[in-house]
Structures are given as structure tokens and as C-alpha cells.
Amino acid sequence: MASIWFKQGDFADHLHELLGYKSGVAASVEHMSDLLSGTHFADEIQNSEKFGLRIRSEDYESLYYELLHKVGTTEKLFKGNYEVFESLREFEISEGMEFVTTVLEIFSRNIRIETKKAIKENRKSLDPTAMMYEAKDKLGSKGLKAIIKYIEANDAVQKYSPHSALRFKEWDNIVDLNALFNEYQPVIQNTGFFDQRFIDFLSVNNEKLHDIHWRKFEELTAECFTKFGYEAELGPGSNDDGVDVRVWHPDNKESPKFIIQCKRYKSKIEKLTIKGLYTDVLHEGAEIGLLVTTSEFSVGARKTVEARGYPIEEVNGANITKWLSELRTPGTGIVRV
């Protein structure tokens, strides 16, 4: 296949703009290089800053889709046009090639018809209703399922493709990954504590939880409980007697259901911290004290909770990882605390 040439410094700028447009996330040269570590593209961006780059078109797409996944836009690595062929593979195996050929014929013919209609009516989208009814009439429920999968695969290719102006969402703003790790910047959005794009990013980069700014970790915790249906209040971040987040059940706002301490630690949580949280629970009149940590309780801390009957619960790194997985876009999963 053909190759693409980028002058010195142009490749990183191109990827920065493309990712921002498609994902709503701005990533620096350093962040993009870090996200590509462990792949054979790891040095491409840094080297292109000094020497320019000649890259095969298929490698360009693979690198781009790797970055799109690593910034959290896709839950798994997207495979470009291969996704379209893969979408009907299960039906080829179970129903045979004639079934698949019929689905493709229905799709292609209706696309041509709908394209002409859309141009004539000055519409920017195509209506798939006719092809769905035809597939259902000719091939039954499996035909309907197959053509829906094929439609969705084609739609995804168009919206994720680096060569298309289409995208899944028209972003109101671009979030910078630097804001997640470096100097604290409050979230800029109408509601919520933590941008959904950061949740998506962390859901595929769980190991980065240890590295995010401590205040962002508190915001993430408050945002999770908001999405679980509770009402959350974020502490000021200092001089708050150790309470980082207060959480109320929507039907009972007299006293907090949970008071939370957030510990972005690599070392284990010791029993002194547990005792301090218990004191806060009593003072606030809360039902339960939660310690949300990227680490876990020490053996001594767990024994203290059990022996003294403290209403303290541990939300460790594994729990947070589960939350992130459930709450990533579209975030419709049900999570139990």
C-alpha cells in the first residue's frame, strides 16, 4: 500500500488535532508516546519530531486506532474496515454464505436508494428503516439482527475513521489529559464533578489511577456516586477534618449515608487512618464510612474494623476499576457499593 510523508514536527500536530476532533481529548507528544508504549509504534511520534516520518497507510491507521483506544474513546481496539467484515462472520458460519450475500445485497441496494433520496431532500443522514423491514421479511429475525449489526459496523467505521469528518459526538470543548495529572483545574461542564471522557480514559488505563492529581481522584469518587443515583458533596480539599466526599441518599438528606476519605496511595492503608475515619463517622452521624483507595487495607486495618465492629468499608483499586468499567460511555451498568 501507499505511504504517507510527514515533515519534521507535523505528525504529532496532526495526531493532536485529529484525536481532539474525534475523541474530544487533547494529548501532548509525551502523553501520546506514553500511551503507545509497548507497541511497535512507541518511538514513532518522538522520532518524527526530529526527522519527520514516512509511514505506510495501514500502519498510520493502526497507530491512530491504538491511540483512539488508549484515550478511552473505544472500549476495545478498533480494527477499521475489518470490523465491517467481522460483523457478519457469525452469520456466515451459522446461516451460510447465501444468507450473508442476501444481507449485503439488501444493504447495498437500499443505500443507493436512500442516498438519492437524501440528496434530493437535502438530508445529511440516511434512513435505514426500509432495509431493516426488507431483511426481516426475507430472512426473519436473524436477517434483521444481521443487517442491524452491519449498519452499526459501517456507521462506526465512518465515525471512527481518520479519513472521515464524521464523529460520534459534537464536542462543546476539548479536555486536556494534562489536567488529569498536573496542576489542578476544576472540571468545566454544566453538571457533575468529573468529565466523562476522563472516566473513559481511566477505564482503559487503570494503572494511571495512581498518577492522577489527588483532587481529581476526589472528584472521580464524587462523580461515581452521583452516577449511582446519590447526591454528593465534594469537600474543599483542605481543612475538612479528613472528609473528602459526603454522600446522601436522595430520599434522606438529614445525615450522610456515606462519608468518604480518598487515598490515592500505593502503600496499604493502616489502622490509624481507619480509626480517624470512624471518628468522622460518629461526628457526622453517617451510616457508613468509606475509604476509597487505589491501594487496599493492611491486615491490621482489616482486623481493627472486624474486631471493633466499625461501620467502615473498603473500596480498593479493584472496586474502582469495576466502577470505571461500568460507568464508561454509555455507562448504563448497575453497580453495588
Count of CB atoms situated within 10 Å of the CB of 187: 15
Radius of gyration of the chain (CA): 25
Question: In b/e form, how buried is each residue of 9-28, taking b as 16+ CB within 10 angstroms?
Answer: eebbebbbeebbebbbbbbe
Question: 260 has which bridge partners?
Answer: 245, 290
Residue among 109, 111, 209, 96 at smallest CA distance from 143: 96
Residue 21 reports pLDDT greater than 70: yes
Q: Model confidence over 53-87: pLDDT tens digits?
A: 999 999 999 999 999 999 999 999 999 999 999 99
Each residue's pLDDT tens digit, 121-130: 999 889 999 9
Q: So what's the pLDDT on residue 334?
A: 37
- Mean pLDDT rounded to a whole number for the chain: 92
Asked if 207 contacts 213 with a C-beta cutoff of 8 angstroms, the reply is: no
Does residue 185 surpass a pLDDT of 90?
no
Q: Is the dihedral of CA 157, 327, 242, 309 positive or negative?
A: negative
* Nearest-angstrom CA–CA distance, 85 and 268: 48
Q: What is the pLDDT of residues 39-53, one digit of tens each?
A: 989 899 999 999 999
User: Which grid cell sits at 31?
Assistant: 502523553
Q: Are the C-beta atoms of 49 and 40 separated by less than 8 Å?
A: no
Whether residue 335 has pLDDT greater than 50: no
**What's the rounded Cα separation, in Å, for the pair 237 and 24?**
28
- Residue that wins the pLDDT comparison between 241 and 251: 251
Plot region of 192 (φ>0 → left; ψ -120 to 50 → alpha; else → beta) = left
pLDDT in tens, 83-100: 999 999 999 999 999 999
Measure the CA–CA gap between 48 and 43, rounded to whole angstroms. Answer: 8
> Of 232, 201, 166, which is closest to residue 324 (Cα–Cα)?
201
What pLDDT does residue 331 have?
36
Please check the confidence at residue 238 and state whether its pLDDT lies above 70.
Answer: no
pLDDT tens-digit map of 259-268: 999 999 889 9
Confidence of residue 144 (pLDDT cuts 50, 70, 90): very high
Cell of 130: 426500509
pLDDT over 80 (residue 186): no
Q: What is the pLDDT of residues 285-300, one digit of tens each?
A: 999 999 999 999 999 9
Name the phi and psi angles at 54, rounded to 5: -115, 120
Model confidence band, residue 253 (pLDDT cutoffs 50, 70, 90): confident
Reply yes or no on whether the pLDDT at 333 is more than 50: no
pLDDT score at 182? 85
Ranges of each domain in the chain: 3-70, 82-160, 177-327
What pLDDT does 191 receive? 60
Q: Cα torsion for 21, 25, 26, 28, to the nearest 10°?
A: -120
pLDDT score, position 237: 75
15, pLDDT greater than 60: yes
The one-letter amino acid code at 113 reads I
Identify the pLDDT of residue 1. Answer: 64
- d(CA 154, CA 163) in angstroms, rounded, equals 14
The answer to whether the CB of 171 falls within 8 A of the CB of 147 is: no
CATH number belonging to domain 177-327: 3.40.1350.10
Helix (H) or strand (E) holding 125: none
CB within 8 Å of 172: residues ≥ 6 apart: none
Which of 49, 52, 51 shows the shortest CA–CA distance to 4?
52
CA distance 84 to 220: 35
Strands 288-293 and 25-26: unpaired
